[in-house]
Structure 1
Amino acid sequence: MGDEEVLTGGGVNHVVRVGGTVRRPVGPWTPAVHALLEHLAARGFTGAPRCHGVDDAGREVLDFVPGEVPGHPLPEWARADGALAVVGRLLRELHDATLDFPKSPDMSWYFPPQSPAEVVCHGDVATYNCVFRDGRPVAFIDFDTAHPGPRIWDVAYAAYRFVPLGDPRHPDGAPVAEQARRVRLFADAYGLGDGDRGALAETARARLAHLVRHMHERAAAGEAAFAGHIARGDDTLYRADIDHLARHRATLTRALLADPVTG
């Protein structure tokens, strides 16, 4: 085996690069994730790594996707309107490629399936799980949190991360008017239906509440990474964003449902 290069990221898993592959810890959800990645490959979706089973050390083996994963503070190219629109289209392509994925009730997923199980959600579409090349998003990585669910469950969280839809006082924050403009751009690029547009802000709040609960459950179970996230105040930040979304839900929803401007 070649030299191992430790890859940094969310701090939950120990991930290394070996040549043109990435090696990651497995879990009960790994067979379902591998089945999903194989399905995406068979459907011609190129915005996800290919999987190559498990190595002799018991780690899953995935393609290393070349490019740049932006960190914080986000570079301007990761915040550009063009990048946001491409992410919306890429997420739509991902979801559409899973429409005929056999969602067996016997499959184990990291997160429980959400109803209605319209598609298979990535579960953590964010800048830190998106590979860019020349300022253009080309692939999502880290599918561990994938699970069946409604489109809006994934779309709302992706919008929260990429628009972004958090309190403007946070680093990388944006004024509410800019959030409204960009969330409309994202929804248009995805091709989101009116019903889901009306539910986006509230779904983002529900998704963040789900995240806070999960962090505390995992920390209580003894997982040091999640305890560290809480210690640095991540849950406090998410609760502030939940409140922000409640305060500005009407503004965001009006922007999402407004008739398009024609020239």
Structure 2
Amino acid sequence: MRPDPPDGVTEEILQGGGVNQVVRRGHTVRRPAGPWTPAVHALLRHLADRGFTGAPRAHGLDERGREILDFVPGQVAHGPAVPYARNDAVLRAVAVLLRDYHDATIGFAPPRDATWYFPPREPAEVVCHGDVAPYNCVFRDGLPVAFIDFDTAHPGPRLWDVAYAAYRFAPLTAPGHGETVPVCEQARRLRLFCDAYGLAATGRAALTDAVGERLRGLARMIRDKAAAGDAAFAAHLAAGHPELYLADAAHVARHAPVLREAVR
């Protein structure tokens, strides 16, 4: 805990925050704002209006210029091997939550001058969350109830979000990258995810390619931001994250026939 200089209210630094420092103040969370914050807050207001409960509500900016969001009670799955984030029930529930989120974004009209963290991608079927992973899910009673950290939200195809979420939750990682999941089990879990989401046949056929493209793009982004002087991404670069993502992309490409057959 530490005092907040402007008004003496205590703030608790929350676990995680790999890029930003996130604090809790009472029933709210305070996070650094960016050029994308107005578009993200407009999206969160749209989700609230649509009755989607799996995202925090936005409440503008505080006296320091930080965004104010609802604190969503529950547990966040930090770390590579959180048991409750890896069972079949969680896999299905995350896929359903992602589908509900995507469907709730349909009809959203971004501000005319909207800026996004990631550039929009075509076809802009929905507004992608951009980083659906255990560390951005809030769990209660062992099941996911909400997504958090919408900084990377951007218009794009459903598949772009599905590919990354499936990568994180199957997980589609190479041997030695935190968890050892046999390819046959990765394939089985990938099928469960696709079925629970209701992914169309065209998306299933393109899924492994989308995972590879997403991971290569992530590795490139880390290198670019580190080269531009971003300290957080420089730490990711020093930790070897780009090489890990590229190795996972190669793993998915190597086993693409098995994975594609599983989700047909």
| TM-score category, normalised to shorter length | over 0.9
User: Which residue does the alignment assign to 2:221?
Assistant: 214
User: Which residue does the alignment assign to 1:162?
Assistant: 169
Kept in 1: contact 2:42–2:111 (CA 8 A): no
User: Which residue does the alignment assign to 1:190?
Assistant: 197
Please, which of 78, 86, 94 is the counterpart of residue 79 of structure 1? 86
Kept in 2: contact 1:168–1:176 (CA 8 A): no
Equivalence map 1:1-263=2 (5 Å): 1=7, 2-103=9-110, 106-257=113-264
1:2-22 Cα shifts (integer Å, max 9, x gaps)? 211111214211111000100
Deviation at 1:102, TM superposition (A): 1.0
Aligned with 1:32: secondary structure? helix
* Letter paired with 2:163: A
RMSD of aligned residue pairs (Cα, Å): 1.0
Whole-Å Cα distance in 2 between the matches of residues 113 and 74 of structure 1? Answer: 32
Kept in 1: contact 2:173–2:179 (CA 8 A): no
User: Once structures 1 and 2 are overlaid, which stretch shifts more, 184-193 or 168-177?
Assistant: 168-177
Aligned with 1:206: secondary structure? helix
Q: TM-score, normalised by structure 1?
A: 0.96
Whole-Å Cα distance in 1 between the matches of residues 222 and 180 of structure 2? Answer: 23
1:208-261 Cα shifts (integer Å, max 9, x gaps)? 11111110111011011101011111111111001101101111010000xxxx
Deviation at 1:93, TM superposition (A): 0.2
Deviation at 1:76, TM superposition (A): 1.9
* Letter paired with 1:147: H
Q: TM-score, normalised by structure 2?
A: 0.95
Deviation at 1:173, TM superposition (A): 3.3
User: Once structures 1 and 2 are overlaid, which stretch shifts more, 83-92 or 230-239?
Assistant: 230-239
**Greater than 6 Å deviation, 4+ residue runs:** none
* Letter paired with 2:207: L
What stretches of structure 2 of length at least 5 have no aligned partner? 1-6
1:38-78 Cα shifts (integer Å, max 9, x gaps)? 00000000000000110111110000101001122422211
Deviation at 1:131, TM superposition (A): 0.5
Whole-Å Cα distance in 1 between the matches of residues 200 and 45 of structure 2? Answer: 28
What stretches of structure 1 of length at least 5 have no aligned partner? 258-263
What fraction of aligned residue pairs are identical, expressed as a percent? 63
1:96-128 Cα shifts (integer Å, max 9, x gaps)? 001111145631000000000000000000000
Whole-Å Cα distance in 2 between the matches of residues 171 and 181 of structure 1? Answer: 19
* Letter paired with 2:81: L
Kept in 1: contact 2:30–2:67 (CA 8 A): yes
Kept in 2: contact 1:103–1:148 (CA 8 A): no
Whole-Å Cα distance in 2 between the matches of residues 103 and 152 of structure 1? Answer: 20
User: Which residue does the alignment assign to 1:260?
Assistant: none
